[in-house]
Every structure is written in C-alpha cells, then in structure tokens.
Amino acid sequence: MRNAGLGSWPERRLRISPNRPAIWFEGATTTHGEFAHRVRRAAAALSALGVGRGDRVAWLGANHPAALETLYACGQLGAVWVPVNARLTPPEVRYVLEHSGTSLVVHGREHGTTADTLRAELPAVRTWVAGETPLAGGADSLDWQQLLADAEPQPRDEPVTPDDPCLIMYTSGTTGRPKGAVLTHGNMTWSCINQAFGLDVTPDERTLGLAPLFHIGGLNGTVNPTLLRGGCAVLVRGFDPPATLAVIVDQRVTSFFAVPTMLDALSRRPDFGAVDLSALRTIGAAGAPLPLPLLRTWLDRGITVQQAYGMTESAPAGTMLDSVDAVAKVGSAGKPQFFVDVRVVRPDGTECDPHEVGEVVLSGPNIMAGYWNEPEATAAAIVDGWYHSGDAGSTDEDGYLYIRDRYKDMIISGGENVYPAEVESALLELPEVLEVAVIGVPDPHWGEVGLAVVVPAPGSDPDPDRLRAELRTRLAAFKVPKHVEFADELPKTATGKVRKPDLRSQYVPQEES
Ligand code: ATP
Ligand code: MG
C-alpha cells in the first residue's frame, strides 16, 4: 500500500479480521470489513464532491459513525479532517471553519440549523452534507447516507506519508481561544500505538466511545487505538449518565476514556452500586486532575482507573499509569508512554531533581507538527523539539509524574506557590462540596489569595468559615482559600473542564481590560 497513514487502517483490518465487530451504534453493529467498504464509498463520495489532497473537511456533530467515516475517508484521500466542537455557537463554529479554511462540512442531525445559518455567510464552504437525516433544518444539505449508497466501494491508493497532515484538532479552549493543532498521520499512528500499549488494548476490546470525538481524548484515548487493534468501538452520541451506565452494562464494555467529571457523574448514579460492571476492565482518565475520593470510588469496585496525562498537541499520549501502579502510585499520572519522552524542567531548560516542581515538556513522534497558521504560537510551544505544556509537575524518585496544575492557574500567595488542583481535591473530600474551583484574587497583603467557588452538595448549606476550618486540618495555612463563594454551577468546556478565565472575569472584574 502506498498509503502509510491512518486511511490505510481499515484496509489492513479488512485483510486481517473482516468479520470482527468494529463499531456498535444504537443497536447496529458494523464489522471491520463493512467499515472498510463504507470508508471506500465515503472516499469516493468526497472525491466526487471535489475533495482532494490537503483540502479540509469538517465534521460537526455528536459522536456518530459518520464522524469516523469522514476521518478515515479523508485519510485515504490525503485530505485533512477538522472535527468541530459540537457545543459551539454558530459564530464560534464559523471561526473554526474560516480559520481552518474548510471547504466541505458533514454535520450531525443536531446541526441542521447551524448549517442553514452559516451556508449564506460562508461561501468558502462549498458543500454541506447531513451525516444522517436531519431532524430540524439542514434540508438543503446533501445526504451522506445516500452519497455512500450511490458510491462505488473501490479501493484507493493515494500516496500518503506519515508526515502528511491527518487532522486539525482544536484545543479545548480551557485557557483561551482554541488553537488548531495539526496532527500528522505519523502522530496519529504513534499516539494510538502508545495508547494501545498503555491500556493493553486487545482485539476483544469493547471500548465505549463516550467522550466527544472532536476532542483528542475521545478520539485517540481508546476509540482509534481499539479500531487499530481490531476491537470494537461502542459509540454513544453524548454523555447522559443513566443511558451511559446502561450501555456499559448491556454492551459488556471493557474499557473507556473519560474526564474526571464524567466519572463523577456516573459514580453518583443511585444505581451505581448495583449495576453489573464485571466486564469493565479499565478506564483511562485524563484531561484534568482526578480527585482522590473519586478515584477510590472506582477502585473499590475492582475497576482500574489508569490516570493519564496528555494534551491535544501530543495526540494525546504523554504519561500513563499501568494497571498495577494505578493502586500503588495513586495520584500520579504515571510514566512516559512507550514512544514519548517526558521531562520536568526548570526555566533554564535543565532537568529538575525529584520532587522539584517545574514545567512538563514532551518529545516524541506523536507531538503535533504545529498550530495551524500560527507560526509564532508554534515557535513558542515547540522549542528544540520539546513541546512546552505550560503545566507544572514533578517526578518522584521512581520517575512517576505528578501534575500540579497549569502555571496559568497557579496562585502565588505571600511568595508561596499554591496549586489550586490540590486545594480543590481537599475541598472535594468534604461531603458538603459537590463541585469546586479555586482561583487567585488580588490581595493587598499577600499579593494573591485563593477564592473557592463552591457548588454545595444537594440539601447541604455549607458555612464558609467551617469549610475553611476543615481545610486547615488538611492543608498548610497558606493554601487555604481566604474567600469562599457559592454558585449553582461552574462554567465548563465540552469535556467538563472548568473555564477559569470565565470565573476570573466574574469574580475579579478589574482583571478585564
Ligand atoms: P487550551 O489549550 O485551549 O487552553 P486545554 O489545554 O484544556 O485547552 P486539552 O489539550 O484538551 O486542552 O487539554 C490538555 C491539558 O489538560 C493539559 O495541558 C493539562 O493542563 C490538562 N490535563 C490533562 N491531563 C491531566 C491530568 N492527568 N492531570 C491534570 N491535568 C491534566
Ligand atoms: Mg492546552
């Protein structure tokens, strides 16, 4: 095969294990062989619509097999897939489509109206295709299912190299405007191999595709590694805790990737203790710090939670705890995955000693080529081959990585560094606290002090002084937030990360200028 990229994976699976299940979605199973033929048809259909090498094709929607069909078809053509966060408003979607220079959009049934709104505003997008029958709006979009039915499943063999771009994936936008990370075919391959090794993915895997495919954890956390390995991706449109728990049980799900907020919502289901999770082997958890009480909830059920650390820019393989150390090294994000190097460095680039906090930097064949059309941001992020994460971390004497927090979120109080994640984890141990985010606010004496924004647990009425007194028994005094505010909810990204810039502009108005 001249295609050395991700687009060739379905062809290779067709050769090796055509009859094994590849995708389960809403009651229907597609085998690897059937998937390969659908991808061939999809590539033929896109090609007939004028898509060729280097062209950008967006997927805008919830999790759906058409998302993977468009990705792999682009991979066969050498075109570039652009997954768009399905939760964005039309003007935000417009920004991503314009910034990436997308010419064709395939959208889910929930996005017909967005397609209708943007069609007139974005002439550069020549074609709009509805991935499934639209429920509302989108009547002028072409019909993906029909296009595939009409196309020929001929094999193609465009030359695609590991260095060719495979997709532009936008970062979560936790700290600001999302940046478009260009991930090459090589990045995808090496990251998925890392993930498959790290989670011991097998051909019998039935992984739950729960996290959004438009984020790197949802796409490459377990779904693509499982397809690579010949297992089955059990796709769900989105995260609905009772329905998700039911699918995990009914489909005998063996693994999944999740962000901590998802695990929290699942474990708070009243039926959590009673459901049969005997098939579930392991969970890859990443994207944000995993509070220890939450980790214990799953470990107590006999399910391994492999804390991992990574980012869009590393596709996302960085570090991972293996299933043995998940218990012994609780709280750590593990060791570098097989084909990636991770170091903790001082500002001058020298390596930190064990337990010394520094910036986490990564290097390996999975690190992005750069940010799309942002050479300055790329040059600032990748220095001498090392991607600078902006995350503060340290290692222990055995080489296990501990992530503190983002430097952008660190609070410097009276000259001491306070990592909000540690304070949040301590607050979450208190039964009256359902959710919490700690941010720094200016203080005339200390420079900065912590402000905890707490969502109280249902039925509780926490008292700020009592919460602070509790914390003083668990944390050094300088880490205890000086202020506590209560809120009904916290502003979050699509993967459930708290958007601290939004909190800061709400609680620290003078920062806005
Ligand atoms: P943006 O870059 O747009 O602000 P983002 O950094 O949240 O958004 P992602 O690439 O989805 O976008 O997330 C990667 C970041 O998530 C990491 O840099 C780190 O800050 C955080 N993260 C990932 N895994 C962990 C973990 N195990 N523990 C703590 N933080 C983590
Ligand atoms: Mg980031």
Residue with CA nearest ligand 1 atom 28:
289
C-alpha 166/C-alpha 56 separation (Å) is 10
Mean pLDDT of the chain: 94
Helix (H, G, I), strand (E, B) or coil at 371: strand
**Pocket residues: Cβ below 6 A from ligand 1:** 171-176, 178, 215, 286-289, 307, 309-312, 333, 389, 391, 403, 406, 497
C-alpha 70/C-alpha 105 separation (Å) is 10
Residue with CA nearest ligand 1 atom 15:
311
C-alpha 100/C-alpha 83 separation (Å) is 10
| Closest to 118 (Cα-Cα) out of 169, 151, 84 | 84
pLDDT in tens, 257-314: 999 889 999 999 999 999 999 999 999 999 877 888 888 899 999 999 999 999 999 9
pLDDT in tens, 497-507: 899 999 999 99
What does the block give as tokens for 221?
């956390």
> Rounded to the nearest whole angstrom, what is the distance from the C-alpha of residue 367 to the centroid of ligand 2?
13
> Rounded to the nearest whole angstrom, what is the distance from the C-alpha of residue 392 to the centroid of ligand 2?
13
pLDDT in tens, 331-354: 899 999 999 999 999 999 999 999
Q: Which of 362, 387, 391 is the pocket-test mutation for ligand 1 (most atoms within 8 Å of CB)? A: 391
- The per-residue b/e assignment along 165-187, b for 16 or more CB within 10 angstroms, e otherwise, is bbbbbbbbbbbeebbbbbbbbbb
Question: Which amino acid is it at 61?
Answer: G
Strand partners for 308: 320
Average pLDDT, integer, range 411-438: 94
> Rounded to the nearest whole angstrom, what is the distance from the C-alpha of residue 406 to the centroid of ligand 1?
8
For residues 113 and 138, is the Cβ–Cβ distance under 8 A?
yes
CA angle 91, 217, 133 (to 5 degrees): 55
| Closest to 415 (Cα-Cα) out of 439, 441, 445, 453 | 445
> Rounded to the nearest whole angstrom, what is the distance from the C-alpha of residue 93 to the centroid of ligand 1?
21
Higher pLDDT, 80 or 295: 80
Which bound ligand lies closest to the C-alpha atom of 170?
Answer: 1
Burial class (CB in 10 A: 0-12, 13-18, 19+), 469: exposed
> Rounded to the nearest whole angstrom, what is the distance from the C-alpha of residue 383 to the centroid of ligand 1?
19
What does the block give as tokens for 28?
């229907």
Backbone φ and ψ of 140, nearest 5°: -85, 0
C-alpha 127/C-alpha 169 separation (Å) is 21
Residue 494 pLDDT exceeds 80: no
Question: Which amino acid is it at 433?
Answer: V
Query: What's the pLDDT score for residue 512?
Result: 42
pLDDT in tens, 233-258: 999 999 999 999 999 999 999 999 99
Which bound ligand lies closest to the C-alpha atom of 493?
Answer: 1
> Rounded to the nearest whole angstrom, what is the distance from the C-alpha of residue 234 to the centroid of ligand 1?
25
Locus of tokens 């498959």 = 196
Backbone φ and ψ of 96, nearest 5°: -65, -45
| Closest to 46 (Cα-Cα) out of 81, 12, 10, 13 | 81
Query: What's the pLDDT score for residue 325?
Result: 85
Residue 175 alpha carbon, nearest atom of ligand 1 = 4
Residue with CA nearest ligand 1 atom 31:
288
Query: What's the pLDDT score for residue 134?
Result: 67
H or E stretch covering 281? none
Average pLDDT, integer, range 228-233: 98
Helix (H, G, I), strand (E, B) or coil at 79: coil
C-alpha 461/C-alpha 457 separation (Å) is 8
Looking at residue 351, the DSSP 8-state letter turns out to be: B
Residue with CA nearest ligand 1 atom 12:
172
Residue 513 pLDDT exceeds 50: no
C-alpha 115/C-alpha 58 separation (Å) is 12
